[in-house]
Amino acid sequence: MSRASRRCQPVPVEVREAADLLERRWQLSIIYAALSGALRFNEFADAVAGISPRMLSERLRDLEHAGLVERTVIPSSPPTVEYRLTERGRRLAPLIDAMREYAQAF
């Protein structure tokens, strides 16, 4: 007996591009930390348990390059760096909230 195959739509380019960025290890955790108020490198390091300083630095650069995070050098002694989500980055809040609600259901 032959079954008719179902056709599914190809994954849209936009979805694939977003997934390519967000599925990198630590990215969603860093975005969550930023949504929760982390601004400085050490605050991210404390919030994202297990991430190495090198990896955190790399991921923050990835997010900055993608336009989700902006890096600001505060002129002080010594200079301080803060990271803030851009409007584009803040638009991920509903996704993060949905993931948290999904995980809490188990």
How confident is the model over 39-51, as pLDDT tens digits? 999 999 999 999 9
In a domain, 5, yes or no: no
Neighbours of 100 (CB within 10 A): 11
In a domain, 82, yes or no: yes
In a domain, 7, yes or no: no
The domain total for the chain is 1
DSSP for residue 8:
-
pLDDT at 3 over 80: no
In a domain, 46, yes or no: yes
Average pLDDT of the chain to the nearest whole number: 93
Task: Estimate the crossing angle of helix 27-35 against helix 93-104, to 10 degrees.
Answer: 100
Q: Percent of the chain at pLDDT above 90? A: 87
Mean pLDDT, to the nearest integer, of 78-85?
Answer: 94
Q: What is the pTM of this model?
A: 0.85
In a domain, 3, yes or no: no
Percent of the chain as helix, strand, coil, to the nearest 5: 50, 10, 35
CATH number of the domain encompassing residue 67: 1.10.10.10
In a domain, 98, yes or no: yes
Confidence of residue 6 (pLDDT cuts 50, 70, 90): confident
- The predicted pLDDT at position 99 comes to 93
> CA-CA distances (angstroms) from residue 86 to 29, 59, 104?
16, 15, 27
In a domain, 1, yes or no: no
